[in-house]
Structure 1
Amino acid sequence: MSERLVVIGGDAAGMSAASQARRLKGPDELEIVAFERGHFSSYSACGIPYWVGGDVPVRDKLIARSPEEHRARDIDLRTRTEVVEIDVAGQRVRARDLESGAETWTGFDKLVIATGARPLRPPLPGIDAPGVHGVQTLDDGEALLASLDRAKGRRAVVVGAGYIGVEMAEALLGHGFEVTVLNRGEQPMATLDPDMGRLVHEAMDGLGITTVGSSPVRKVLTGGDGRVRAVATDSGEYPADVVVLGTGVVPETGLARAAGLPLGAYGGLLTDLAMRVRGHENIWAGGDCVEVLDLVSGRERHIALGTHANKHGQVIGANVGGGYATFPGVVGTAVSKVCDLEIARTGLREKDAREVGLRYVTVTIESTSRAGYYPGAALMTVKMLAERRTGRLLGVQIVGREGAAKRVDIAAVALTAGMTVEQMTALDLGYAPPFSPVWDPVLVAARKAVTAVRAAG
């Protein structure tokens, strides 16, 4: 007799889990039913800003595997169907067809929760007015593109200056809009320390993007037709024909909370190394709805990234399918760009290190992406944190032009290996003048960090 796997969520984590489980077990051993409330499956939400901006020419380039392709692999994927209740004791879920409104119960032997994250939509007057857009799904991207086409003017306001905010600022700039970014904090990119965020601020201003710090939004103002016309902050009103919200996301765990499943400090589901929900033998969770272990701080964090979601899905699918896999944790690596400015970070910021009680030193260096004499060499700034007594690497942030962002991967590997900054200075990295100075910028920072650690005693 076959078992039934039910998957809630048809994007990265959910469908990676379903696909991996199907590779390990055929339909005669494992029936797989997946529910997705949207129209699409297995798509790159991270690519939406680049589709909106025109770098990706058509929407379907972002879709890795369509619902029809999943069904052809014996996965019963039901789109436009939302799970509205999980009955843990009864091992069943209640799902609603969003077209007809009909509801049905489906039993499970094993359950995967991959409900993702939802955009923060602050409860402000006018926030739901036509012309105000979140950017989380392909449906959101289509709605935004339609709004850009019918906008009467060419003024856009982006609320929030995190990854989505700066990426959408670039996309709107590419559409010919005059772009203003309103940020609650003093500097953009709160995932960086303020001194590195200031470099991003200066670069965005140089690109023609007006970035206003310390300006929490109080109200969205509308015109006579009900559409957005401006955004009001404590410092004034900013005219807008289109508003894009880039205020971050939180785990979509309302179902899990109602079902009594364990949640962490950030509202994400808590799992063990096998991605099994703690205390529940037959329930797994992955993707943006879970919290993961930060290998540097030793604490749980919520990080919404497609890279993690796909890995979670692979681990879950292996375990559901009778194999064995674990997800050990993350070091918090992320990269982004706005026009030709590249932004990267991994590990801890100064704020993070203080919160967990670590004593540290910091160093900041400027270098170039190639040998200084080689054409196209671009400046970059590297900031490095190291533990005071041990010299253990704690974090790296990089802001620069071409060739800057992916250098953070050197630091990500060093963090995962628990290396000291002194050990990093001996890394055998590739060198040729078109690719790097003799001393790679990350290693220049490591050498300076060694000196700072020794001076600190």
Structure 2
Amino acid sequence: MSDEKNNDNQKIIIIGGGAVGMAVATSLTRHSDYSVTVFSADVHTAYSQCGMPFVISGEIEDFKTLIRRDKKILKDMGIDLHLGTRIDSINIKESTVTSGEEKYHFDKLVIATGSKPDIPSNIPGTSLGNVFTLRTLTDAMRIEEALKNASSVVIVGGGSIGTELAAATARRNINTILLNRSHSILSHNVDPDMAEAVQEHLESLGVNVITGYVPSALNGEENVSSVTISSTDFPADLVIFTTGVSPENELAVNAGIDIGSTGGIIVDDYLHPSVSGIFHPDIYCGGECIEVLELMTGKPMLSQVASNARRMAGTITKNLTSKPVKFDPILNPWVAVIGGLQVGTTGITSKKAAENDIKIVTGLATGSTRAEYYPGGSKLFIKLIFSDEYLAGAQVVGGEGVKERIDALTLAIKKRTTVHELANIETCYAPPVATLQDPTGFAAKGALKKMRKKT
């Protein structure tokens, strides 16, 4: 007997044309008989958001390169694609969605509405011209156009997008200020001691990093001309806010879908949303609009990394076409490349551990990405975080080899690897790619030494 579900002639509507929505749509057209309709408020689809800062930096030739499938290809695949079309409401009881005067029936529904940028509402001048956020390809194109005649830019928010953009504009010889409310950049991703290396790198590129402040005001007549920071006015031909995002969940709220403490949609292990406390079997949700469980704390969190969005899309597709599968709690591994410097993290940070009363011991090590005598190497900084002698988090900063280490350390956390095992880790060696002893082992030995002192 086949495990395949009978989906002949069933209509599936997908709201959202981002990483989750389009991955589900394209998979279903290949592996099922669903009639697939996608609605997206965006005028572009099937493009890489993560690549946008690298077009702005000039490392990628143009924005067209980021579009992985054009509209014609998607329609030729059998997807009924509605771009620039906003869904106004969902009626769960009637199994319909409404856009303008049109009503559409569904047998199955996927909500993948993503997130929206947060701009502080208490800062005067945010409605001036040349004030931007970066979420869509259209946003990126507008920023690129404004940068052509710009000599100064202020980027507000020192997270991953803000730091990548700061490196990008500095590369174009534009006077760049990166302004961050916290005293440490990348504060959601890495600890302050690891962020220091990133800040020093940005400053070496010419970025003026100002921490511990928010803008007092954006000044100008029609377009922004300066930003007031602690009573000092700094010239700004444009301002880009990268101060975070929040789930785009107005549709879900109005439809009676339950929202959790993070602002994301509450879902079960199969990514069904909760509707008045009951998980709906014919609706799935995924991406930045939902909350999922964090492995180390067991608490709900939002995930804004594309790799998890693609995994969610895979879970939804399998649950629509074959045996049910679960989306397990996540470690949310993350990596960014900031002006050539790679930064990665997985598991909990020291800050997250403190917020959850998790006792930790840390180990730090500095090494090199290649043998000292081999050209092209760079410094490598590794921080390991242990709880009850098990690896609970890791942070890596360096010129190369960061992504591979974060991937391996993510698996090590899930496999409950001990400090003793990592202190005696067996690693490979060749001068062009590694030192004789990997600094991961030294970081573990540093933590083990602290533990022995305590006992």
TM over 0.5: yes
Indicate which of 158, 173, 179 corresponds to 2:170: 173
**What amino acid is aligned across from residue 233 of structure 1 in structure 2?**
I
Residue number in structure 2 paired with 1:109: 107
> CA offset at residue 218 of structure 1?
2.4
Indicate which of 16, 20, 23 corresponds to 1:13: 20
Residue number in structure 2 paired with 1:140: 139
2:78 corresponds to 1:79: no
For residues 182-193 of structure 1, the aligned pairs below 5 Å read 182-190=179-187, 191-193=189-191
> CA offset at residue 455 of structure 1?
2.6
Residue number in structure 1 paired with 2:157: 160
2:255 corresponds to 1:236: no
> CA offset at residue 426 of structure 1?
4.2
Rounded Cα–Cα distance in structure 2 between residues aligned with 1:418 and 1:23: 38
- Which secondary structure state, in structure 1, belongs to the residue aligned with residue 266 of structure 2? coil
User: Which ranges of structure 1 fall in alignment gaps of 5 or more residues?
Assistant: 97-102
Rounded Cα–Cα distance in structure 1 between residues aligned with 2:453 and 2:27: 51
Over residues 370-422 of structure 1, what are the superposed CA-to-partner deviations in whole Å (9 max), with x where a residue is unaligned? Answer: 122322231122111111xx301111112222334542222111112221222
Residue number in structure 2 paired with 1:285: 285
Over residues 98-137 of structure 1, what are the superposed CA-to-partner deviations in whole Å (9 max), with x where a residue is unaligned? Answer: xxxxx31111111100001111112122112111111111
Please give the TM-score of this superposition, normalised by the length of structure 1.
Answer: 0.93
User: Which ranges of structure 2 fall in alignment gaps of 5 or more residues?
Assistant: 1-7
1:391 to 1:306, Cα distance in 2 relative to 1, 3 A: same
Rounded Cα–Cα distance in structure 1 between residues aligned with 2:50 and 2:177: 22
Residue number in structure 2 paired with 1:100: none
Rounded Cα–Cα distance in structure 1 between residues aligned with 2:448 and 2:73: 53
1:273 to 1:59, Cα distance in 2 relative to 1, 3 A: same
1:22 to 1:454, Cα distance in 2 relative to 1, 3 A: farther
Residue number in structure 1 paired with 2:29: 22
Rounded Cα–Cα distance in structure 1 between residues aligned with 2:362 and 2:391: 10
Residue number in structure 1 paired with 2:60: 56
> CA offset at residue 197 of structure 1?
1.7
> CA offset at residue 235 of structure 1?
4.9
**What amino acid is aligned across from residue 61 of structure 2 in structure 1?**
P
Rounded Cα–Cα distance in structure 2 between residues aligned with 1:241 and 1:16: 38
- Which secondary structure state, in structure 2, belongs to the residue aligned with residue 288 of structure 1? coil
Over residues 344-376 of structure 1, what are the superposed CA-to-partner deviations in whole Å (9 max), with x where a residue is unaligned? Answer: 111111111122221111122111111223222
Rounded Cα–Cα distance in structure 2 between residues aligned with 1:400 and 1:433: 17
Rounded Cα–Cα distance in structure 2 between residues aligned with 1:235 and 1:196: 30
Rounded Cα–Cα distance in structure 2 between residues aligned with 1:329 and 1:338: 28
> CA offset at residue 187 of structure 1?
1.6
Over residues 147-184 of structure 1, what are the superposed CA-to-partner deviations in whole Å (9 max), with x where a residue is unaligned? Answer: 11244xx0111101110001001111122201011110
**What amino acid is aligned across from residue 16 of structure 1 in structure 2?**
A
Please give the TM-score of this superposition, normalised by the length of structure 2.
Answer: 0.93
Rounded Cα–Cα distance in structure 2 between residues aligned with 1:132 and 1:434: 45
Residue number in structure 1 paired with 2:5: none
Rounded Cα–Cα distance in structure 1 between residues aligned with 2:70 and 2:272: 27
- Which secondary structure state, in structure 2, belongs to the residue aligned with residue 81 of structure 1? coil
Residue number in structure 2 paired with 1:438: 436
**What amino acid is aligned across from residue 290 of structure 1 in structure 2?**
I
Indicate which of 412, 417, 420 corresponds to 1:419: 417
Residue number in structure 2 paired with 1:40: 44
**What amino acid is aligned across from residue 383 of structure 1 in structure 2?**
K
Q: Which stretches of structure 1, 4 residues or more, deviate above 4 A after TM superposition?
A: none
Counterpart contact for 1:344–1:406, Cα < 8 Å: no
> CA offset at residue 193 of structure 1?
1.2
Q: Give the root-mean-square deviation of aligned CA atoms.
A: 1.6
**Aligned residues: percent identity?**
31
> CA offset at residue 198 of structure 1?
2.1
Counterpart contact for 1:24–1:318, Cα < 8 Å: no
